[in-house]
Amino acid sequence: MKNMRHPILWLSGMCLVATLAACGKKAAPAPTEMPVHALEIVPQSVPLTLETPGQTAGSSAVEVRSRVNGIMKSKNYTEGSYVQKGAVLFTLETDSAQQAYNSAVANVAVQKALLNQASANLKRVKALVEQNALSRRDGEDATASYGTAKASYDAAVAQASNSKLSVDYGVIRAPISGYTSSETRSVGSLVSPQEILTTISVISPLYVNFSFSDGDLAKLRNASRSGEVSAPAATAYQVALTLPDGSEYPILGQINFTDKIVSQTTGTIRARAVFDNPSMELLPGQFVRVSLRGAMRNDAIIIPQRAVNSGIAGKSVWVLTPENTFEVRTIKTADNVGQSVVVTEGLKAGDRVILDQLMKLPQMPPKTKVKPVMVTLDDFYKSLAQPAAAAGAPAAEGAAPADAAKTDAAPPADTPKAKE
């Protein structure tokens, strides 16, 4: 009996220790819900920009040719320079034409003298006929002689004028003011009327030629009829240019021509815009990107580009459920609007799109709850503009922290063309 007391005491002690240990152990805290910043979808009207390739061209281009055959005597301009209308560009040797002109002028003098003689004779004969000193036949002969002399004189004058033109055509002048191209014939070459000697182009104002597919324009018309898009008249669009280096031309243009015929070879409709070019920054022949501004997409859904995940399967976003869990939603996008992108399929009004923590969400268990902090687009973009030095400071309530937006966001979506 005495030996049995020790095991009982030992067991009692162990139970007491266990009880005390259990009493001293605190309950495990509930898991903390990760805060995420989210945007509630509110449809709104946003600008719709239509883009297409284009090429610059002079608003006027004139081919300079000679009107007569001749040997080029001189070139009087610098290739590529600006010339005024009427400026002498080339001169041709015109010795033979000058001789022909001198002969024609002399013939005019001869015919003028004969005409004066015939006129005086007609006047004398008419007076004698009235006095019955000469017959009517004599009067008719004098009248006929005067008519012949007058015709000969007129022909001589016309011949002299033509000869003068041949001399004048030996001096080739600029038909318009503009910039010259390179010469095609050298001094000493025989020039014929069929040859182009140079070209003069007017580059201020400057034209930009572009085209749109008939299908795209049909989509735009249908969207306009349904009210999805508000589109102005063609001439009311503002036209912007993106230059080959990626910069934007500082002056907006205006459409001044749209074709009414669809090309049978390309299926496109041609159009043209005109731009002022005071600094001659634009040159004919450049390839540019044309952006038509003025249309509005009504009731559009836009989200930040950085909220969009792009992958092989397409584009998607993280969306909050009513229980504040999260799920992937596949979307389709159209054109960009600043830092935002238009979503055409996959989202609707009232959906809540998660804007940050996008790299952590795929690693969390399904049905995990998060703590949404709702923000507006303006708040979100303002947070992105905050300097990095302020990233450690507490963010204002309802604003997305700048560091979270910068370090835990999805890559920006690809920049698509406007699709209408």
- Gap between the Cα atoms of 18 and 410, Å rounded: 51
- On the question of a cis peptide bond just before residue 278, with omega within 30 degrees of 0, the verdict is no
| Cα-only R_g, the chain | 45
- Gap between the Cα atoms of 357 and 326, Å rounded: 12
CATH class of 35-46+298-407: mainly beta
- Token pair belonging to 70: 């001749």
- Token pair belonging to 88: 């002498």
Which architecture, in CATH terms, is 48-58+201-296?
Answer: Beta Barrel (2.40)
State residue 414's pLDDT score.
39
Q: Pick the closest to residue 183 from 169, 194, 199 (CA basis).
A: 199
Q: Which residues contact 117 (CB under 8 A, 6 or more apart)?
A: 149
Q: Which CATH superfamily is domain 95-169 in?
A: Helix hairpin bin (1.10.287.470)
Q: Which residues contact 191 (CB under 8 A, 6 or more apart)?
A: 66, 69, 70, 71, 72, 90, 92, 185, 197
- Gap between the Cα atoms of 251 and 329, Å rounded: 41
State residue 400's pLDDT score.
44
Give the number of other Cβ atoms within 10 Å of residue 411's Cβ.
11
Fold assignment, 70-93+170-194: OB fold (Dihydrolipoamide Acetyltransferase, E2P) (2.40.50)
Locate the domains of the chain by residue range. Answer: 35-46+298-407, 48-58+201-296, 70-93+170-194, 95-169
Check residue 134 and report its DSSP letter. S
Q: Which residues contact 193 (CB under 8 A, 6 or more apart)?
A: 65, 66, 67, 68, 69
Question: Greatest CA separation found in the chain?
Answer: 195
Q: Pick the closest to residue 256 from 213, 315, 208 (CA basis).
A: 208
Phi-psi region of 104 (alpha: psi -120 to 50; beta: other; left: phi over 0): alpha
State residue 169's pLDDT score.
86
Handedness of CA 17, 19, 24, 30 (dihedral sign): positive
pLDDT in tens, the chain (420 residues): 444 445 544 445 555 444 544 444 555 555 688 999 999 999 999 988 889 999 999 998 899 998 888 899 999 999 989 999 999 999 998 888 788 888 888 988 988 898 898 888 888 888 887 888 778 887 788 888 888 988 988 998 998 888 888 888 889 999 999 999 888 888 888 888 888 999 999 999 999 999 988 888 888 888 888 888 998 888 899 999 999 999 999 999 999 999 989 888 888 999 999 999 999 899 999 999 999 999 999 999 999 999 999 988 899 999 999 999 999 999 999 888 888 999 999 999 999 999 998 899 999 998 899 999 999 988 888 887 775 434 444 443 334 444 444 444 444 333 334 444
State residue 331's pLDDT score.
94
pLDDT in tens, 302-354: 999 999 999 888 999 999 999 999 999 999 998 888 889 999 999 999 999 99
